[in-house]
Amino acid sequence: MEQTAINILVAVFGILGLTITLTAAMLRQLPDLLHALREARRALRGQNSSRAESRRE
């Protein structure tokens, strides 16, 4: 019984540690991801506006 409780406790702390580590890694990469999304939007808007201009001519 005591060994089972210890195993469960170790598993819970392991999962908690993994969750914290993954969350921290994701939050560290978030600014780069947002920057890349903004650049992609700008590029798509640039393509759309150049297509619209070429259709007008």
Give 1-57 pLDDT, tens digit per residue: 899 999 999 999 999 999 999 999 999 999 999 999 999 999 999 887 766 556 655
Tokens representing 3 are 């060994």
Q: Give the model's pLDDT for residue 41.
A: 95
Q: Give the model's pLDDT for residue 1.
A: 87
Q: What angle do CA 29, 31, 35 make, to 5 degrees?
A: 120
Q: What does the DSSP 8-state code read for residue 1?
A: -
pTM value is 0.58
Alpha carbon distance 57, 53 (integer Å)? 7
